[in-house]
Structure 1
Amino acid sequence: MLHLVIADAELETIPPEIADHPAVINYARRRKKKPEEMLLDSTYHHAALKRLQDGERRGRPDIVHLCLLNALESIANKEGLLRVYVHTRNNGVIYVKPETRLPRNYNRFVGLMESLFQNRAVPKDLKLLRLEEKGLAELVDEIGPDGVFVMHELGELTRPMDLGRRLVDLENSVVIIGGFPHGDFKSRVPWEKISIYKEPLVAWAVVNEITASFEQWLTSFPP
C-alpha cells in the first residue's frame, strides 16, 4: 500500500490577524460569508498576505486541489492500492477516502474545503473527507510504514522508476510531497530525502510521477 501525504499544505481559513483587512472584507461581502469562514487564497487576498509571516507562500488551496485530483484519479487509487492525506501548515490532517470524487471546478472545491474546516467532516454521513488535529510525525507513526520517503529538491537524485520499484517492494510505504509553492518544509522531516529530477517540480507533477512509477511495478493488473 502506498500512502501519499501532501505535507505542510498551504490550506487554511482566514487568520484572525487579517480578518479586518479591506481585501478580505470586500471578498467576504461578495461571497456573503464571514471572513473566518473562508479559505485564505492568494489570488484574492494578496494584499492582506503582506501582513502575515510567510505570507509569500500562504493561501494556495489550488495546489491541494490539483494534487488530490491527480492522486484520486490514478490507477493505483482505482485499484485500491493508494491512500491519500493532506497535512496542513497548522497541523491539521485531512483523511481522504479512496472513493472520494472531488469537484473539478476550483470554486466548488474551495466551498467544499470551507465546509470541511467548519464541520470537520463532509458529507457528515459518509465522511469522505475528515479533518483531525495532528502533526506530520503523528500521522506517519499512525500509518506505521516500512519506509518513508520525502520528495525534496536537495534529496538523492533517483529515477522515478527506481523509486517505484522500492515502493512496491515495501508492504506499506509513505511518500511525502510538499503542498507549498516554494521554500522548504515547516515540519521536521527526518526521513530519507529523494529527488526525481534535476530541477524543482510542482507538487502535482510529483504526484503524477510517483503514482505512475509505482503502478509500473504492480503485478495485480496488466500494464
Structure 2
Amino acid sequence: MLHLVIAEAELEPVPEQIRDHPAVANYARRRGKRPGEVILDSTYHHAALKKLAEGERRGRPDILHICLLNALESIANKEGKLRVYVHTRNDEIIYIKAETRIPRNYNRFVGLMESLFKNHVVPRDLGLLRMEEGRLTELINEINPDGVFVMHEEGIHTKPVDFGKILASLERPAVIVGGFPHGDFRSKIPGKKVSIYRKSLMAWVVINEVLSGFEGWVV
C-alpha cells in the first residue's frame, strides 16, 4: 500500500488580516458568504495577497484540485493500493477515503473545501473527507511507513520506473509531494529526497509519474 501525502498544500480560508480587503469582501459578497468562510484564491485575491507574508505562494487550491483528481482517479487507487492524505500550510490533515470522487469542476471543489473547513467532515453521513489538526510529522508517525521519500528537485535522481520498483518492494512506503507552486518546503521534511527529472515539475506531474512507475510493478 502506497501512502501519498500532498504536503504544505496552499489551502486555507481567507486569513483574518485581509478579510476587509475589497478584493476579498466583494468576492465573498458575490458568493453569498462571509469573508472568513471562503477559500483564499490568488485568482480572485491577488491584490490582497500582497499584504500577507509569503503571499506569492499562497492561495493555490487549484494545485491541490488537480493533484487529487489525478491521484484518486489513478489505477493504483482503483486497485486499492493507494491512500491519499493532505497536509496544509496551517497544519491541518485531511484524510480521504479511497472511494472519494473529487468534483471535476473547480468551483464545486472550492465549495467542498469551504464546507470541509466549516464542518470538518463532508459529507456528514459518509465522512469521505475528514479534517483534523496535525503536523506532517504526526501524520507520518501515524502512517508508520517502512520508507519515507520526499520528492525534491535536489534529491537523488531516479527514473520513475526504478523508483516505482523501490516503492513496490516495500509494504508501507510513504511519498511526500509539495502542494505549493514554487520554492522549497517551509519546514524540515523527514525522509529521503528523490528527484525523477533534471528540472522542476508541477506537483500533479510528479504524482502522475510516481504512480505510473509504481503501478508498473504492482498492477
- TM-score when normalising by structure 2: 0.99
Q: Superposition RMSD on alpha carbons, in Å?
A: 0.6
Residues 52-92 of structure 1 deviation map (CA, whole Å, 9 limit, x = unaligned): 00000000000000000000000100000000001000000
Q: Indicate the residue corresponding to 2:93 in structure 1.
A: 93
> Structure 2: how far apart are the matches of 1:184 and 1:130?
27
1:106-135 per-position Cα deviation (integer Å, ceiling 9, x unaligned): 000000000000000000111000000000
Q: Secondary structure, in 3 states, of the residue corresponding to 1:163?
A: helix
**Other structure's SS at 1:27 match:** helix
Compute the displacement of 1:187 (Å).
Answer: 2.8
Instruction: Give how far 1:191 is off.
Output: 1.2
Gap runs ≥5 in structure 2: none
Asked if 1:50 is matched to 2:50, the reply is: yes
Deviation at 1:36, TM superposition (A): 0.4
What residue is the counterpart of 1:216 in the other structure?
Answer: 216
The within-5 A match list for 1:71-82 is 71-82=71-82
Does structure 2 retain, via aligned residues, the 8 Å contact 1:23–1:47?
Answer: yes
- The structural deviation recorded for 1:190 is 2.9
Q: Deviations over 1:154-203 (max 9, x none)?
A: 11111111110000000000000000000011132131000000000000
- Equivalents in 2 of 1:34, 1:123: separation in Å? 21
CA distance, structure 1, for counterparts of residue 92 and residue 209 of structure 2: 26
Say whether the 8 Å CA contact 1:8–1:187 is kept in structure 2: no
CA distance in 2, matches of 1:214, 1:46: 38
Aligned mates of 1:162, 1:136 — CA distance in 2: 26
Tell me the distance in 1 between the aligned counterparts of 2:16 and 2:114.
Answer: 16
Q: Is the 8 A contact 1:2 1:173 kept in 2?
A: yes
Q: C-alpha distance in 2, partners of 1:106/1:182?
A: 21
What does 1:1-223 align with in structure 2 at a 5 Å threshold?
1-218=1-218, 221=219
Give me the whole-angstrom Cα distance separating, in 2, the residues matched to 1:108 and 1:80.
26
Q: CA deviation at 1:212?
A: 0.5
Aligned residue pairs total: 219
2:153 and 2:12 mapped to 1: Cα distance? Answer: 25
1:39–1:110 contact (8 Å) kept in structure 2: yes
Conservation of the 8 A alpha-carbon contact between 1:136 and 1:187: no
Instruction: Give me the whole-angstrom Cα distance separating, in 2, the residues matched to 1:132 and 1:28.
Output: 25
Which structure 1 residue ranges, 4+ long, deviate > 6 Å from structure 2?
Answer: none
Whether the aligned pair in 1 keeps the contact of 2:83 and 2:96 (CA below 8 Å) is yes
CA shift for structure 1 position 152: 0.3
Answer yes or no: is the 8 Å Cα contact 2:148–2:190 preserved in 1.
no
Distance 1:45 1:187 in 2: 26
SS of the residue corresponding to residue 217 of structure 1 reads: helix
